């Protein structure tokens, strides 16, 4: 039975920095927290440990599913070298860093609050579980390992996005207004400690209690990323090697599982992202999978179709009919159930849509039509153009930032929508999502080898990923950080948190200026100081007991 870890709600004390109440004369009001569960009274038996940990999964998975809609796609692609807001390039989300990322804008506040909430809740679970006696200490250690993983997961977001941040390792059960920023190095040290504990105490692959629960491989994978941030490249390579060598993970190279049988050129990449294939025991590439099962009460949903796909259904034929027209239960609709109902929020830059594919355009399986749909056809029997291909180059007919552009089908579930049938899912589906898979682990190790100047080993890891995709192999002399980022884009677009990757590498600004070709604002107005997000001004204002200093370059 699949355990719901998407929407489980628990009653923890939810004290985050934004919740401190300051009076109009800047005096801190006396506060008594009401209706909360503290670490001292929440845990009465071992069942409470399960409840607490499942709550952490719910908070973590909100970063992947539909809780924040457009906002989750910022750290995934928007505002980076990979994508811009197609529905409104001039004024949509992350179309201008100077407007969207300021000390008083909502986005830094959202990420700060959301990540710190997970930190605080993880601290509560750690203390609560530590207070319990277990018949089997292994069970206790596994719960603690999950909680430590999620604290590290949240702090990784914070330290990459904001740099120095408050270091909080104990539950906060009374008002606190004297937070100070700890050095980035101290935060990274805590993350590595948490993840090493998780790597030692989580179950191994195949022994987790339910699909979507963490394993040692997930901890080692995240450690590889964090060691790269610390410039501890030997440890990064070793952590990635644990995942690659010790737990039975393998890249999928043959067709498997559910197959759509819609496109002529479906291949193993198509199968990796087909509905219901992510949790199969035969899928040896999956390391950590986010669960969106519609058959679980409160199961999650994914708005990947809504975000990444073009709004094709708004097209008109040259003879002025709806470009797409069909019927659902006798009623006329303008949607295609293979394509769903996208909106065009996340339009890939030309770098992602075209440039990175040039060398192997016709042979790379990741660029096959089943994986990146580039050819669209009118579907309306009333039109003389029915069945004819839509010509992208006709500027009078096509808006290629919103209505038609290459559609990365890994976000979609063609013909398999369980809600809003008359709208082909309404932009939503119930695809389980890879939080981590082995192809990225190889690319993390390749990055470590590059930094260690072991270019032959780096090329070998990159070539394992490329050979599975039937892409031409690279030579050791070809390997540099740009090649690795290109390969990450080919392999991981829509999956990796690109903004965090570039912030970790400290090349976000240069990559956005070079590759983000938003026609309404090329380069998105990004400035050198945008290498970090600003500390939310509200946090600075409320933290009256100590200075919470702002990141350089930002003014309120």
Geometric angle at alpha carbon 430, from 198 and 403, rounded to 5° = 120
Strands 326-328 and 83-85, sheet pairing: unpaired
Residue 165 is classified by DSSP as: B
3-state helix, strand, coil in the chain (%, to 5): 40, 5, 50
Write b or e for each residue in 155-187: b if 16 or more Cβ atoms lie within 10 A of its Cβ, otherwise e. Answer: bbbbbbbbbbbbbbeebbbebeeebebbebeeb
**Two tokens, residue 342:** 């996208």
Average pLDDT over residues 344-365: 97
Q: pLDDT at position 438, please?
A: 98
pLDDT reading at 25 higher than 70 = no
Geometric angle at alpha carbon 362, from 501 and 308, rounded to 5° = 45
Please provide the DSSP assignment of 49-97 as one string.
HHHHHHHHHHHHHTTTSSSSGGGHHHHHTBTSSSEEESS-TTTSTTS-H
Bridge partner residues of 336 (DSSP): 340
Burial environment of residue 261 by CB neighbours within 10 A (0 to 12, 13 to 18, 19 or more) = exposed
**Two tokens, residue 301:** 């949903």
Q: pLDDT at position 96, please?
A: 97
Q: Report yes or no: 504 and 228 within 8 Å, Cβ to Cβ.
A: yes
Q: Round to whole Å and give the CA distance between 210 and 134.
A: 20
Which has the minimum average pLDDT: 4-8, 186-190, 273-277, 419-423?
Answer: 4-8
**Region of residue 69 (left: phi > 0; alpha: psi -120 to 50; beta: else):** left
Q: pLDDT at position 24, please?
A: 34
Burial environment of residue 240 by CB neighbours within 10 A (0 to 12, 13 to 18, 19 or more) = buried
pLDDT reading at 305 higher than 80 = yes
Average pLDDT over residues 505-511: 98
* Contacts with 514 (C-beta within 8 Å, 6 or more apart), sequence order: 81
203-231 residue pLDDT tens = 999 999 999 999 999 999 999 999 999 99
Structural domain 46-201+498-556, CATH architecture? Alpha Horseshoe (1.25)
CA distances from 186 to 30, 180, 192 (A): 32, 13, 10
Q: Report yes or no: 164 and 187 within 8 Å, Cβ to Cβ.
A: yes
pLDDT reading at 437 higher than 60 = yes
pLDDT cut 70: percent of the chain above it: 89
Q: pLDDT at position 269, please?
A: 98
Model-level pTM? 0.92
pLDDT, averaged across the chain: 90
pLDDT reading at 258 higher than 60 = yes
pLDDT reading at 30 higher than 80 = no
pLDDT reading at 12 higher than 50 = no
Residue boundaries of the structural domains of the chain? 46-201+498-556, 292-431
Average pLDDT over residues 485-503: 98
Average pLDDT over residues 312-320: 91
Q: pLDDT at position 172, please?
A: 86
Confidence of residue 140 (pLDDT cuts 50, 70, 90): very high
Confidence of residue 14 (pLDDT cuts 50, 70, 90): very low
80-133 residue pLDDT tens = 999 999 999 999 999 999 999 999 999 999 999 999 999 999 999 999 999 999
Q: pLDDT at position 261, please?
A: 95
Centre a 10 Å sphere on the Cβ of residue 445 and count the other Cβ atoms it contains. Answer: 27
Q: pLDDT at position 69, please?
A: 64
Q: pLDDT at position 16, please?
A: 36
Within a 13 Å sphere around the CA of 467, how many CA atoms are in the beta-carbon half? 11
pLDDT reading at 260 higher than 60 = yes
| 97/316: higher pLDDT | 97
Q: pLDDT at position 35, please?
A: 33
178-193 residue pLDDT tens = 999 999 999 999 999 9
Q: Report yes or no: 509 and 516 within 8 Å, Cβ to Cβ.
A: no
End-to-end Cα distance, the chain:
50
Q: Report yes or no: 490 and 468 within 8 Å, Cβ to Cβ.
A: no
């Amino acid at each position: 039975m699949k355990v719901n870890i998407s929407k489980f709600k628990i009653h923890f004390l939810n004290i985050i920095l934004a919740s401190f109440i300051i009076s109009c004369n800047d005096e801190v009001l006396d506060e008594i927290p009401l209706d909360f569960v503290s670490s001292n009274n929440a845990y009465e038996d071992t069942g409470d440990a399960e409840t607490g940990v499942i709550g952490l999964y719910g908070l973590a998975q909100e970063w992947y599913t539909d809780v924040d809609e457009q906002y989750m796609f910022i750290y995934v692609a928007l505002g980076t070298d990979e994508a811009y807001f197609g529905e409104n390039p001039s004024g949509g989300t992350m179309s201008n860093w100077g407007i969207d990322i300021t000390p008083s804008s909502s986005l830094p506040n959202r990420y700060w609050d959301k990540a710190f909430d997970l930190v605080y809740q993880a601290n509560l679970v750690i203390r609560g579980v530590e207070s319990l006696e277990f018949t089997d200490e292994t069970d206790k250690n596994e719960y603690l390992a999950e909680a430590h993983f999620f604290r590290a997961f949240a702090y990784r977001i914070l330290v990459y996005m904001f740099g120095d941040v408050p270091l909080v390792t104990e539950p906060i059960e009374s008002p606190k207004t004297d937070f100070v920023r700890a050095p980035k190095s101290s935060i990274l040290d805590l993350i590595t400690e948490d993840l090493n504990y998780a790597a030692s105490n989580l179950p191994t692959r195949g022994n987790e209690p339910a699909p979507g629960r963490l394993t040692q491989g997930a901890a080692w994978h995240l450690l590889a990323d964090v060691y790269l941030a610390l410039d501890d490249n030997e440890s990064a390579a070793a952590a990635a090697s644990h995942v690659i060598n010790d737990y039975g993970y393998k890249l999928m190279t043959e067709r498997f599982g559910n197959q759509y049988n819609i496109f002529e050129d479906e291949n193993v990449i198509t199968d990796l992202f087909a509905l219901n294939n992510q949790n199969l025991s035969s899928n040896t590439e999956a390391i950590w999978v986010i669960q969106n099962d519609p058959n679980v009460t409160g199961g999650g949903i994914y708005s990947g179709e809504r975000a990444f796909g073009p709004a094709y259904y708004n097209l008109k034929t040259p003879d002025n009919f709806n470009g797409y027209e069909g019927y659902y239960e006798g009623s006329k609709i303008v949607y295609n159930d293979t394509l769903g109902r996208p909106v065009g929020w996340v339009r890939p830059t030309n770098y992602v849509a075209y440039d990175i594919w040039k060398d192997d355009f016709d042979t790379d399986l990741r660029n096959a039509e089943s994986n990146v749909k580039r050819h669209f056809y009118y579907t309306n029997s009333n039109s003389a153009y029915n069945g004819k291909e839509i010509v992208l180059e006709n500027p009078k007919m096509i808006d290629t930032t919103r209505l038609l552009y290459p559609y990365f089908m890994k976000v979609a579930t063609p013909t398999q929508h369980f809600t809003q049938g008359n709208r082909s899912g309404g932009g939503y589906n119930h695809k389980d999502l890879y939080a981590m898979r082995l192809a990225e682990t190889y690319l993390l190790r390749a990055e470590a080898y590059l930094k260690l100047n072991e270019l032959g080993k780096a090329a070998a890891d990159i070539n394992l990923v490329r050979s599975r995709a039937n892409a031409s192999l690279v030579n050791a002399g070809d390997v540099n950080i740009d090649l690795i980022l290109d390969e990450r884009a080919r392999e991981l677009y829509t999956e990796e948190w690109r903004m965090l990757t570039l912030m970790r590498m400290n090349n976000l600004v240069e990559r956005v200026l070079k590759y983000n070709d938003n026609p309404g604002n090329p380069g998105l107005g990004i400035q050198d100081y945008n290498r970090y997000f600003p500390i939310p001004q509200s946090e600075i204002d409320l933290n009256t007991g100590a200075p919470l200093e702002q990141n350089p370059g930002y003014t309120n």
